[in-house]
Every structure is written in structure tokens, then in C-alpha cells.
Structure 1
Amino acid sequence: MRSLKGKVALVAGGTRGAGRGIAMELGTAGATVYITGRTTRTEVSEYGRSETIEETAELVNNLGGVGIPVQVDHLVPEQVKSLLERIENEQGRLDILVNDIWGGEYLIEWNTPVWKHSLEKGLRMLRLAIDTHLTTSHYALPLLIKNESGLVVEVTDGTEEYNNKNYRLSMFYDLAKSSVNRMAKALAHELSPYGCTAVSMTPGWMRSEIMLETFGVTEENWREATKKEPHFVISETPRYIGRAVAALAKDPDHHRLNGQSLSSGELAKMYDFYDIDGSQPDCWRYLVEVQEAGKPASAEGYR
């Protein structure tokens, strides 16, 4: 496994959640990480949340990497184009692209059929989940393919196998997350002649800032949430998928996984890394074998 010192990464959508965790772990491995998002210390996005790209950059710096925050709305092609021109001018290369743009949490109407779901919110969700990734890839990949062994990670929710078998409680959400898995498969085909690799990757039940807030807990006392939802016992931090992306990026033979749909728990076993509490959650196996099987919540044997 190699260090990422000298490597340049773009974490598109790194303000919070998985993007922040990924940026932090790429920084820990020594990479220079460009972090994009819409919320800065002087401007707040439609989310109305407090996390900023500057905070993420500072976390990267504190862990030994170089964090560079750049405000970008990935639905605006001119802003994405300008971002990539800046990266090329400043670094001359791009080794890792993480497409983690999302922004749809507050748009989902769970367990609501398509004819009752807000059409405006549903179509906005699809634009945030799909158009943003396509726009970013369009402008970023000409720079990435200049270096053999370039890596693209499309971040989603759910493995290809799981999403193909299960309805994700909203047609718009289901389509959004399944589409990202398909994007990675298509990118794998297009990038392969250049020696580059594309995969999709999902965290498990992630203790993002929004999820902790939903349950009224913090990272320090997150287990209190299991009183409301016992299966939250299988949850993981955003750093876990971060360690998955970093391990994959450090693997000189990552092209063998080209086009695959991967999870943080699966890669933890493959590369022998752990979440920040020293555990190794295997969420997607747990969901099928415990939660959906109607068994009592217990993470024994799954973390």
C-alpha cells in the first residue's frame, strides 16, 4: 500500500457527511484535497446548515494533508469548468475524483407513491444526484485520464445487488441512488482504455451530522439512539467510508475492482481497516440477515 503524498484529489460535495469523512482520510494519507460545496462561512446553501467547506479543509490540514476549499454549485457547468481549470493550473494533475454531491435529504417524502410525492422536490432530487455527477465527470475526467491509475469513486446509498432487489421507500430516491451505481459501471467502461478505474461505493448506516441530529444524539453518545431505533447499533462514522476510499486509492492494483459496486464494510475486510472506535461494521449483510429477517437488533458478529 502506498502513501498518497503527492496525489491530488477532488472531493465534490465535501461539506459534511461522507464527503467530509472521505476528505479527512485522504488528507490523513497525505493527499492534497480540493473540497467543494455550496456552504461557506459567508454563504449558506438551501440546506440551511452550519457545516462549511472551510471547516472540512481545516480538518484535512490538521490530519497532515492539504485541504483547499472551493465554493462550487455542481449544477452550474461554468463553475465546475472553472474549478477544474484551477486544479490543472495549480497542480497539473488529478489523481482521485470522488463524486459525493447529493443534497437531497430534505426533499424526500418517504413511503409516498410517485403520484403523491412532490414532483418539484422529486425532480430536484434527481438533478442533485445525477446531473451534478455527470457535469463534474465531464469536466474532471480529461485531467484525470492524463495519469494512468486515476481513480473515480461514485458515492451512493446501497450496493448494486441490494438496490436491484429492494425498493428504497421512494421512487425518486430509489432512482437517484441506483443511477449512481450504473454511472460507475459506465465510467469503468469509458476509463479502462486509459488505465483508470471507476467504482461506486456506499457507506452503511452512516452517523452523519444530519442523522445524529435526527436522533438527538452526538457522536459521543450515539448509542442512546438505539433506544428509539435498535438497529442503529450497526451504524458507522463518515470516517469509515473515508478509510475505504483511502485504502482503495493506496492500492496499486485497484484496477482489478473496475466497475464494481463496493461498500465500506466489504472494503474494511479486504484491506483490514476499522472505524474510529476500532470496530468493523458490516451494515449491508446485517440489514438482510438481521433487520429484514425480523430478528432482534444485535450487532454481534456484524461489527
Structure 2
Amino acid sequence: MNLKGKVALVAGATRGGGRGIAVELGAAGATVYVTGRTTRDRASEYGRPETIEDTAELVERAGGIGIPVSVDHLVSEEVRALVDRIRDERGRLDVLVNNIWGGEHLFEFDKTVWEHDLDNGLRLLRLAVDTHLVTAHHALPLLIERPGGLLIEVTDGTTEYNAQHYRNSPFYDVAKTAVNRMAWAHAKDLEKHGAAAVSLTPGWMRSEMMLDVFGVTEENWRDAIAREPHFAISETPRYLGRAAAALAGDSDRARWNGRSVSSGELAKEYGFTDLDGSQPDAWRYITEVQDAGKPADTSGYR
């Protein structure tokens, strides 16, 4: 996972998976541009404490170079200016991670399209899909200037799983399956330029927001298992980050072009672990244990 001299853009790196990816790319030696809408001077509608400056500092502590840039990825001019800055300052882009989301407070569980708030649903789709396309439009021309570039589209669920399961609501379902398909489509275009696109999903991720939902911290997260036994399969955002870093550091990364993969699958392929030394394989667990209605038991799954 030696990425020294490489330049990465993690779009949507304020918290959660984006932060985990940025830190691990930095730990591998990369220069990482971290973007988002929450800064120390301006809060987003999330109203949360995490900022892009915090993420950049974590990248630096991990051994990389972290550069925070305030960007709304729905605003084409802001994304264009970001890419122009990367070109001027670094002259290259080796890894683009499209992790923009921002829909946690917008989707409603188990609501039909006619029951779900329409404005929130449409806003969710714009944040989850349009942002990725806007960013790809502006950033991919720089990525393909050098052979070997990598685009990682981050979503929730593998293509196989999402094709067979209804994901919470029509809006959430469309958003997450669209990103899987987006990576596949970009792969068709990028392979002509010696670049690759991959769809990457975490398992049940212990993001800052998820920990807050259960009223726990990373230090005592296992206390939440009493409330939700299947939470035992959960993983840290850094596990997803190590998956992204492993892809970026693989000289034969083109073999993954167009594929949908999970953090657990890549851990087995590359041999990395989560921070506690385990290798949670959440999507196999979700299919074989949780969805099958079996009692929670992570034996053989982490």
C-alpha cells in the first residue's frame, strides 16, 4: 500500500467512510485533497462537529499530506475550481473517491414513494447521484492523463445484494443501486484510457453518526450489541479506508475494473484487518445470518 507521490481526491471526506478512506490513503503516503461542506467556519445542515480540517489533520498524523477544500459537489463551478487547483498544485490525480452522500436525515425507512416526503427524496437523489456525476465530469479528465488512474464509487451494498433486496425506501434504493451501476458504466469509458472504476461498499460501519444512534463510542461500541445483536459484525471506517488503499496500491488494479466489491471481500484478498485485528465479512454475514433470521453469531465471519 505504498502511495508515496500519488495524489488522491476524496470527495465527501468530512466524516464516516470518507474520513476513513482519506486517513488510510494518507497512511500509505498519498497527498489527499479532502472535501465537504462542513468547515470550522461553516456548518452544513447536518449540524455535526466533524469538519474537513479535522480530517486533513488526521491525514497528516497518519503520514500523508492532507489538504481540506470546502466544496459543494452539486455546484459545478466549485468542483471545476477544485480540479483546476489540483492540476495547478500537483499536476496529477491518481485516485478519485466519490463518497458524497449526505442523505441520512432525508430518507424514511419502510415508506412507499407516495408516503415518503417527496422533496426530501428528490434531494437525497441529487446528493447521492448528481454529486458523483458532477465530480466525475470534472475530475476524470485529469485522472486519465496518466495511465493507471483509479475511480472508487462508494455506496451501500454490493451489486449482487442490491439487485436482490429492497433497500429501505424507493429513494434510498435507487440512490445506492445507481452508484453501483455508475461505477460499471465509468469502467467502460475508463478502460480505454488505462484507468479503472470500482464500486466499493463497507459493511455495517461504525461511523460517528452510527455510534451516536446507539449512544456508544468506539471504545465501548460492544455495549450496543445488547440492543442490536447483529451490530457485532460492524466495522470501523478505517476498514473501508484500508480497502480503498489496497485497491489504489495494487499494480494490477485493472483486474477489478467494473466490479462491485466490499471491504470484507478485499480484506481476504489483500490480507489487511480492521483496527482490532479482525476481518469482518459483513455482507456474507448479512445474507447468511441476519437476513436468514438466524441468531446473531459472528463465528466465521470476522
Give your verdict on TM over 0.5: yes
Tell me what 2:19 maps to. 20
- Aligned residue runs from structure 1 range 2-13, under 5 A: 3-13=2-12
* Inter-partner Cα distance in structure 2 for 1:199 and 1:42: 34
Matched residue SS, 2:105? helix
SS of alignment partner, residue 69 of structure 2: strand
After TM superposition, list the pairs within 5 Å mapping 1:223-238 onto structure 2: 223-238=222-237
Deviation at 1:180, TM superposition (A): 0.1
**2:129 corresponds to:** 130
What is the root-mean-square deviation of aligned Cα atoms in Å? 0.5
CA distance in 1, matches of 2:288, 2:141: 42
Residue 89 in structure 1 maps to residue 104 in structure 2: no
Q: CA deviation at 1:268?
A: 0.1
User: What does residue 72 of structure 2 align with?
Assistant: 73
- Structure 2 CA distance, aligned partners of 1:6 and 1:257? 23
Please report the TM-score for the alignment, with normalisation by the length of structure 1: 0.99
Report the alpha carbon displacement of residue 262 of structure 1 after superposing the two structures with TM: 0.4
3-state SS, counterpart of residue 70 of structure 1: strand
| 1-structure distance, mates of 2:151, 2:168 | 28
Q: Structure 2: which amino acid aligns with 1:241?
A: L
Aligned partner of 1:131: which letter? D
Amino acid at match of 1:111: D
Aligned mates of 1:104, 1:293 — CA distance in 2: 28
Report the more deviating stretch, 292-301 or 13-22: 292-301
Q: Does 1:99 align with 2:130?
A: no
Task: Provide the aligned length of Structure 1 versus Structure 2.
Answer: 302
The separation in 2 between residues aligned to 1:96 and 1:288, in whole angstroms, is 31
Q: Structure 2: which amino acid aligns with 1:72?
A: V
Q: Partner residue of 1:183?
A: 182
| CA-CA distance at 1:211 after TM superposition | 0.2
SS state of the match for residue 116, structure 1? coil
Give the equivalent residue in structure 2 for 1:289. Answer: 288
Residues 1:268 and 2:267 aligned together: yes
Structure 2 CA distance for aligned equivalents of residues 106 and 68 of structure 1: 28
- The CA deviation at 1:293 is 1.0
Match of 2:146 in 1: 147
- TM-score under structure 2 normalisation? 1.00
Opposite residue 224 of structure 2, the aligned amino acid is: A
Give the match's secondary structure for 1:4.
Answer: coil
Measure the CA separation in 2 of the matches of 1:171 and 1:195: 36
CA drift of 1:3 comes to 1.2
Q: Report the AA paired with residue 252 of structure 2.
A: D
Q: Could you tell me which residue of structure 1 aligns to residue 207 of structure 2?
A: 208
Counterpart residue number, 2:54: 55
The answer for unaligned runs of 5 or more in structure 2 is: none
Measure how far apart 1:169 and its partner are. Answer: 1.5
The alignment status of 1:247 with 2:241, answered yes or no, reads: no
- What is the identity, as a one-letter code, of the residue corresponding to 1:50? P
Shift of 1:294: 1.1
Matched residue of 2:186: which SS?
helix
Equivalence for 1:43:
42
Distance 1:51 1:184 in 2: 28
Alignment match, 1:164 = 163
Identity of aligned residues (%): 68
Cα displacement (A) at 1:142 = 0.6
Q: Which amino acid aligns with 2:235?
A: E
3-state SS, counterpart of residue 262 of structure 1: strand
Q: Distance in 1 between matches of 2:189 and 2:53?
A: 33
Distance between the aligned counterparts of 2:19 and 2:268, measured in 1?
Answer: 22
Partner AA of 1:209 in structure 2: E
Shift of 1:203: 0.1
SS at match of 1:46: coil
Corresponding residue SS for 1:56: helix
Distance 1:129 1:296 in 2: 33
Listed one character per residue, the Cα deviations across residues 63-110 of structure 1 (whole Å, up to 9, x for unaligned) are 100000000000000000000000000000000000000000000110
Between the aligned partners of 2:247 and 2:38, the Cα distance in structure 1 is 28
> What is the deviation of 1:298?
1.0
Structure 1 alignment gaps of length 5 or more: none
AA aligned to 2:62 is L
Counterpart of 1:34 in structure 2 is 33
